[in-house]
Structure 1
Amino acid sequence: MTDKHAETVTGWNFDNSYARLPETFFTRLNPTPVASPQMAILNEGLAESLGLNNQVLGSEEGVEVLAGNRVPEGALPLAQAYAGHQFGYFNMLGDGRAILLGEQITPRGERVDIQLKGPGRTPYSRRGDGRAGLGPMLREYIISEAMHGLRIPTTRSLAVVTTGQAVIREEEQPGAVLTRVAASHLRVGTFQYAARWGSLDDLRALADYTLQRHFPEIGAEENRYLALLQGVIQRQAALIAKWQLVGFIHGVMNTDNMTLSGETIDYGPCAFMDAYDPATVFSSIDSSGRYAYGNQPNIAAWNLARLAESLLPLLHPDEEQAIKQAEGAIAGYFELYNRNWLAGMRAKLGIFGEEQEDQTLIEELLGMMQKYGADYTNTFRALTFDKLEDENLFGTPEFARWQELWQARLGRQQEAPASSRQLMRSSNPAVIPRNHRVEEALEAAVSREDYSVMNRLLNVLSSPYAHSPEQGDYAALPPESLRPYQTYCGT
């Protein structure tokens, strides 16, 4: 059911370029209606940037769209087909509980996907019900918006609506639908699907579409598909470095969770590290530590190699030459990643320019932080404001020696100390979405329908580099009783 006037007033402005790809890449279907949808939370700032009217979007008619009960004018709902390596094992996947409504063209002329998560079964649901629980959807809302505040490329959350229907997971919980906004939902797994089950023409069509949508600057390159691979590698090297710099652990870096756009996607068993330790894992199902914090750069390279394999038929008609080109592109990933990471770490320490010993200085600090169990975020925050109160680390002779080397390094640069402090302030967040604070917000919202805790948290996380007084409480570490922390694949 559609109401053209209502959708025009809302501001929906859909196009459906993905639906013009070969039909092997999707199945057209409408969301399954729910019993009694109610707005849980609406991202008004994001809505305005999309050209949407918040008042209408929050009305009964708007909620009907966000719940999947009404298809907005111009949308062509579909579930996308893709494959992926999940913990190293290859599977046919697809949108098992997500439906793409279409692509919103914003007032600035940008094209973004509008996707519903939890709108019912699709042909790719396997044995799932296609639904989602309120807690996991609110969790994605919080973490994705926190990532946006941290200036890390990410999908965004437009809204969460409750469905009036329960879902059964480990226990019964309220059902919900999240509206996700993304540059696109093209994944490494989309190309793996095309390479395994599509024709060469299908693969080429997908590559051409990706180039047009995300890399329009790549025109008449001699090898535009190699340029596509290199472009994705550059974006992912920058993205993973940003993750590492704030202590973010994705938790499920399967190839279907790596985007071609370079955005972070799928906030399932993700979390932010407290005490610095490269072996940190939060996901309950990652018993081997495949996706541990310290492994993320390597896993990204592994995923990108799977993309390169999928593109081989397009790189060169001679397989040996194609492999050589792909290997050359992948080999450049670590240099790109390390360059991004080093630049970010220098900024966190107020360092301008480059010296050969910088990496050693950085690694020595991280080694001490690991040895003494120092909190990752708060250590850099303490260095920024010269409030060295953690005696476990800052009271040691090791740190005193390191601090002398650091101050000597700062003294060799032309920039004034005030410039270094400002660089550190803008590079070291005052707050991250601490796991216990996220759980506190979810408990209040899901159990008591109290969204005030979540709203206060979102407000603090929206400007993590403000270093405002009200952020102090949110920088506190969790009590010992809440450690160690585990997350689950709920989204």
Structure 2
Amino acid sequence: MTTGTQLAFENTFVRDLEGLYLPWTAAPAPEPRLVLLNEGLAGELGLDPAQLRTPEGLGVLTGTAPPEGATPVAQAYAGHQFGNYSPRLGDGRALLIGELVAPSGERRDLHLKGSGRTPFARGGDGKAPLAPMLREYLISEAMHALGVPSTRSLAVVATGEDVMRERGPEPGAVLARTASSHLRVGTFQFAAASSARGTSTSTATGEVEVLRRLADHAIDRHHPAARDAENPYLDLYRRVVAAQADLVARWMHVGFIHGVMNTDNMTISGETIDYGPCAFLDAHDPATWFSSIDHAGRYAYGNQPGIAQWNLARFGEALIPLLADDQDEAIRLATGVLETFADAYHAARDEGYAAKIGTAAAGPLLTDLAALLAEHKPDHTLFFRRLSTAARGDAGPVRELFADPSVLDGWLESWRATDPDAAAMDRVNPAYIPRNHLVEEALAAAVDGDLEPIQWLLFVLGHPYDERDGFERYAQPPGPDAAPFRTFCGT
């Protein structure tokens, strides 16, 4: 692969953040085979899909032959996992290859999952089964098409070896994904702890050096306007809080459940990251959770805004040494920013839901609707999609989602009085989401060598707002006899 003209790499993470990574190399991939390639994304990045399909291209996508200029590293970070702090997590089965600079000038990390064991592996094998990597490819691309900020998937490459999991041997694979960066709340937690272990007694110099370098890097990469603020690090915090408030509101609008909202899975950029045990609502129930490792439902659908604020509190704690010389003043400043989350989230949530019901005169309508949906639990996606049909005069399809359709009538009457815009509703309420039963069906077929179901699913989900004849099954929830759905993280 002629990488000089095809891949323009920079390595500002490696240049700026010594101490927050370990140089590492990928494990061999005995018989690499391209399973999925995102040609559209490749084009946006200035990559030639034909060359990515060559043996040299597969070497780039598996990390076994990094291109010139790349510096593969395993990133270091800490994190609260299900509320419990782990001081040393990091990329246990992943590598940051470097930063692609697209023709547009946009900078995107190229990051590999399943590329082999690193010093952060904590006893794991560092490998990834094919199905979870295909799952992340599918869901992340669906989220992108839905307009939700997300990491994106470039390719899935089967490695030609099996990995052992509880269900037995499974085909191994590497996922190549891109993001505006992989900086996380957990990265700042690790840097803060590293700075606290410094030998200097001066908070202005050595003690906070690692943390300050990281914050400066994050400002330059994601929030450069913060550099001109009176307190740049406080403004960084404010901007990250706002970005996450908007992101989680968007999750709630489409019924997305992340499933593992640990602080190492919350980005500074405001992108969704790490699609392990994620899934989408069928019935609208705030208590819904799917992850097999979330035994108490900590990360249930309705808990996500509160968990996001909790995570952001941990981010604020990490930034305390940078916010003011006096710790009490720093805490006061951070608390003031954190307290803006609720208003920012509610504003983004209500703005999005007002668009979903097609009226700016939402007000009490949204409060009453939230209570109706939580009590009667209609299908989340079908309810909002069919509501536009009601706006056009036929309420039958949306009423039939309720066991007692009459419970909706009073709300419908008040809502219709606002003259909702049906066409605008169709532009924000998807006809298609990654229905969990269809995702599992497609993944099982792909593992058995049949990629047609996943290709069709990717095609449909690439245009989620365009309802088309012949694709009705992709809009339907599972039948009433479907078994309870559970997701697994794939590690």
Class of the TM-score when normalised by the shorter of the 2 chains: over 0.9
From 372, 376, 392, the counterpart of 1:372: 376
- Whole-angstrom CA distance in 2 between matches of 1:379 and 1:470: 20
What is the one-letter code of the residue matched to 2:288?
T
| Cα deviation, residue 69, structure 1 | 1.9
The aligned runs of 1:321-332 (5 Å cut-off) are 321-332=329-340
- Whole-angstrom CA distance in 1 between matches of 2:18 and 2:401: 60
- Structure 1: give runs of 5+ residues left out of the alignment: 411-416
The aligned runs of 1:119-268 (5 Å cut-off) are 119-170=115-166, 171-198=168-195, 199-268=207-276
Is residue 2:418 matched to residue 1:409?
yes
- Structure 2: give runs of 5+ residues left out of the alignment: 196-206
| Cα deviation, residue 280, structure 1 | 0.3
What is the one-letter code of the residue matched to 2:73?
L
Judge conservation of contact 2:99–2:108 (CA < 8 Å) in 1: yes
| Aligned residue-pair number | 473
| Cα deviation, residue 348, structure 1 | 0.4
- Whole-angstrom CA distance in 2 between matches of 1:74 and 1:470: 47
- Whole-angstrom CA distance in 2 between matches of 1:48 and 1:133: 27
Post-superposition Cα deviations, 1:349-392, rounded to whole Å, max 9, x if no partner, equal 0012x5xxx34312322322333331000011111123533435
What is the one-letter code of the residue matched to 1:373?
K
Judge conservation of contact 1:369–1:393 (CA < 8 Å) in 2: no
Is residue 2:393 matched to residue 1:385?
no
What is the one-letter code of the residue matched to 2:412?
Q
What corresponds to 1:414 in structure 2?
none
Q: Which deviates more, 370-379 or 135-144? A: 370-379
What is the one-letter code of the residue matched to 2:350?
L
- Whole-angstrom CA distance in 2 between matches of 1:243 and 1:445: 27
- Whole-angstrom CA distance in 1 between matches of 2:101 and 2:170: 35
- Whole-angstrom CA distance in 2 between matches of 1:394 and 1:407: 22
Q: CA RMSD in A?
A: 1.3
What is the one-letter code of the residue matched to 1:381?
R
What corresponds to 1:413 in structure 2?
none
**What secondary structure does 1:175 align onto?**
strand
**What secondary structure does 1:178 align onto?**
strand
- Whole-angstrom CA distance in 1 between matches of 2:231 and 2:456: 50
Judge conservation of contact 1:84–1:90 (CA < 8 Å) in 2: yes
What corresponds to 2:68 in structure 1?
73
Post-superposition Cα deviations, 1:264-284, rounded to whole Å, max 9, x if no partner, equal 000000000000000001011
Q: Which deviates more, 292-301 or 31-40? A: 31-40
**What secondary structure does 1:469 align onto?**
coil
From 10, 16, 31, the counterpart of 1:21: 16
Distance 1:392 1:131, change over 3 A: closer
Judge conservation of contact 2:63–2:97 (CA < 8 Å) in 1: no
Post-superposition Cα deviations, 1:419-466, rounded to whole Å, max 9, x if no partner, equal x1122011100010000010111011002x111110100000001111
What corresponds to 1:90 in structure 2?
85
What is the one-letter code of the residue matched to 1:455?
Q
Post-superposition Cα deviations, 1:66-123, rounded to whole Å, max 9, x if no partner, equal 1222111110000000000000000020000000000000000010000111111111
- Whole-angstrom CA distance in 2 between matches of 1:34 and 1:101: 16
Is residue 2:348 matched to residue 1:348?
no
Post-superposition Cα deviations, 1:230-283, rounded to whole Å, max 9, x if no partner, equal 000010000000000000000000000000000000000000000000000101
- Whole-angstrom CA distance in 2 between matches of 1:322 and 1:385: 52
Q: Which deviates more, 240-249 or 459-468? A: 459-468
| Cα deviation, residue 394, structure 1 | 8.0
What is the one-letter code of the residue matched to 1:452?
E
Is residue 2:323 matched to residue 1:301?
no
What is the one-letter code of the residue matched to 1:388?
G
**What secondary structure does 1:39 align onto?**
strand
What corresponds to 1:428 in structure 2?
429
What is the one-letter code of the residue matched to 1:95?
D
Judge conservation of contact 2:194–2:210 (CA < 8 Å) in 1: no
- Whole-angstrom CA distance in 1 between matches of 2:377 and 2:339: 34
